[in-house]
Structure 1
Amino acid sequence: MTALDRPFISWRRRLPWSVTASAVLLGVVLLAALFGRLVYPDPMRQDILTGLVAPGAPGHLLGTDELGRDVLAMTVAGTGSALLGPVCVAVGSMLIGILLGTLAGYERGPVDFVISRWADLLLALPLLLAAIVVGGVLGGGYWVTVILLVVLFSPSDIRIVRAGVLEQSARPYIEAAQMLSMPRWRVMFVHILPNVSTLVVTNVMLNVAFALVAFSSLSFLGVGVSTDTADWGAQLAANRQIVFDNPAAVVVPAILIILVACAVNLVGDWLGQRLAQNGTTA
């Protein structure tokens, strides 16, 4: 065994089995999201003659729904819809959190007061209820739901980034940068922001999991996507009446929502710990 092999083996031994399993699951789900439409180009195709069949029927591993649509095809094709929205929500809300949280934590004073009160106001709103009300007024839709959740998720990101920036602002390297008369934007986004990257990465991963559950809940309630769209939440809404005739039509997307959310949480926690350890070691 060479010296170059030792770090890899040591890293592999430190990787918990739960994180390994979660990473494998997320890899499979990501492949399904990228190439699912190639395998099932028309997942919503109806076959009235076939109708509702139970799992294990010839040509239908997970059975079909009342309209003869293949449950496996809809589940695989719905992976892209189920992942794209939550990822956009997590990244979009964090971008708002980085901008406003950094300004609030570094500038303080009136800027901090206004941004913090705005975040407090949004945090006081019940997330799902606010999304249902506003989404209903605007007519719902996939990207309307994404934008709503970006706005409603951003207050927690603002407060987390603000706390990290406040902690970094009191350190000597920031005082040195200020004494050198560096531009304020450079101090905030070039010197401070990289040192709160652990908080940013960890919270983005956790927000993906929370957004997945929120997005699926809204789709189930008819606010996110319609029941005619390949989406896990929409599958739950459309097939809940046939749960006893074909349990897979409801159980499979429900289990996938739970497993993917848990997997993202586990990988996010592990990644945050590794980044924190590397930062402490450095």
Structure 2
Amino acid sequence: MANPANPVPAPGTADARPLSKRFRPPVLVVLAASGVAVIALLVVAGGWLTPYDPEHQDLMRSAAGPGDGHWLGTDALGRDVFSQVVAGARTAVVGPLCAAVGALLLGVPLGVAAGYRGGFLDAVTNRFADLIYAFPAMLLVIVVVGTIGDGYWFAVAVVILLILPAQIRLCRNMTLVQARLPYVEAADVLGLPAARIMFRHILPNIAPTVLATFLLDFVGALVSLAGLSYLGLGAPPGTPDWGELLRQGQSLLAVNPYLSLAPGLMIIITATGVTLLGDWVYDHSTGGAGRR
């Protein structure tokens, strides 16, 4: 039974609760945001937070467990695992972030223009998306990066190419829906320039979904690039990177499992935190339509 002092709004009506309560995140979202904030801190200031030089080798403590000031032990070359995990946050996060931003900057204008203008641009973008979707994404990345082998940033560029069609099609389809609404028809009647209608009127209305897709693209790129590094096709060997640390730790699981567990846990925390946080932001930016 509803509490008269705190009525539940009917579907489709404005939420009458105080602003502080409407935007108060649940505990799980607070934990997710805290995890993402810690990861962001490691990306920005990780070089000042490592107790040891991540590249310093001590062969006398090769593949040792935790102890003697090494909180997570050492790898096969005696390098401090904790320092490598902290330093590896920058490589592990910046690459996927660049991939997601690249897909956003390319996909949003193309998708909105294709949906609003139609014609040749719409046909070309649809054929491009069909071509990319015709291949298994991860297999295509492995084949292209493994064949050309042009470094980590080439792998980032290939990932952009693979996640771009989803962003284009999403923006195109949402623009097609918005273009039929009265406010767009009124703007057309007033003779407003097409660019202004697309990016000053339509884009703000689809922005919440674009943001949610951007965050999902980041998570997908994070997992893809970590997988490439695990296979030896991403970050160069010896570079502090979570995927590379997973690869190194595979042969040392019986000696020092933290070499694999720590970077694997960081990938899980980052992917889960960004997904939960993005879902909450999307829910509230669309007026709480998904709130139960």
Report the TM-score, using the length of structure 2 for normalisation: 0.89
- For each residue in 1:12-45, what CA deviation from the matched residue of structure 2 results, as whole angstroms up to 9, or x when unmatched? 3xx1211111000111111111111113373121
Counterpart selection for 1:253 from 241, 249, 263: 263
Q: Is the 8 A contact 1:74 1:230 kept in 2?
A: yes
Indicate yes or no: 2:245 matched with 1:235: yes
CA distance in 1, matches of 2:28, 2:221: 22
1:203 matched to which residue of 2?
213
Structure 1 equivalent of residue 95 of structure 2: 85
Quote the residue 1:39 is aligned against.
49
How many residue pairs get matched? 272
Which residue matches 2:7?
none
Amino acid at match of 1:197: A
Is the 8 Å Cα contact of residues 128 and 218 (structure 1) preserved in structure 2?
Answer: no
Q: Give the C-alpha shift of residue 91 in structure 1.
A: 1.2
Which residue matches 2:4? none
Q: Is the 8 A contact 1:92 1:150 kept in 2?
A: yes
Find the counterpart in structure 1 of residue 19 from structure 2: 7
Structure 1 residue 188, shift from structure 2 partner: 1.1
Q: Report the equivalent of 1:277.
A: 287
What amino acid is the match of 2:249?
Answer: N
- In structure 2, do the counterparts of structure 1 residues 11 and 184 end up closer, same or farther at CA, with 3 Å as the change threshold? closer
| Aligned match of 1:192 | 202
User: What are the within-5 Å matches in structure 2 for residues 13-162 of structure 1?
Assistant: 15-40=25-50, 42-55=53-66, 57-162=67-172
Q: Distance in 1 between matches of 2:116 and 2:23?
A: 37
Q: CA deviation at 1:10?
A: 5.2
Contact (CA 8 Å) 1:140, 1:225: kept in 2 or not? no
Superposed CA deviations along residues 201-233 of structure 1, whole A, max 9, x for unmatched, are: 111111111111111001101111122100000
| Paired residue secondary structure (1:189) | helix
Q: What displacement does 1:11 show?
A: 3.0
1:178 aligns with 2:188: yes
Residue-by-residue CA offset, 1:162-216 (whole Å, 9 max, x unaligned): 1110110001111111112221111111111111101111111111111111110
CA contact (8 A) 2:211 2:282 kept: yes
User: Structure 1 stretch 133-142 or stretch 76-85: which is displaced more?
Assistant: 133-142
Q: Tell me the C-alpha RMSD between the 2 structures.
A: 1.6
Following the alignment from structure 1 to structure 2, what is the Cα–Cα distance between the partners of residues 7 and 200? 24
Partner secondary structure for residue 122 of structure 1: helix
Q: Which runs of 5+ in 2 are unaligned?
A: 1-17
In 2, the alpha carbon distance for the partners of 1:26 and 1:139 equals 31
Q: Flag the structure with higher helix content.
A: 1
The question of whether the paired residues in 2 share the 8 Å contact of 1:227 and 1:234 is answered with: yes
Checking the alignment, whether the CA contact within 8 Å between 2:283 and 2:289 is kept in structure 1 is no
Identity %: 39
Structure 1: any 5+ residue segments left out of the alignment? 1-5
Which amino acid letter does the alignment assign opposite residue 54 of structure 2? P
Normalising by structure 1, what TM-score? 0.92
Distance (Å, rounded) in 1 between the aligned partners of 2:134 and 2:48: 44
How many Å separate the matches in 1 of 2:150 and 2:271? Answer: 24
Moved over 4 A (4+): none
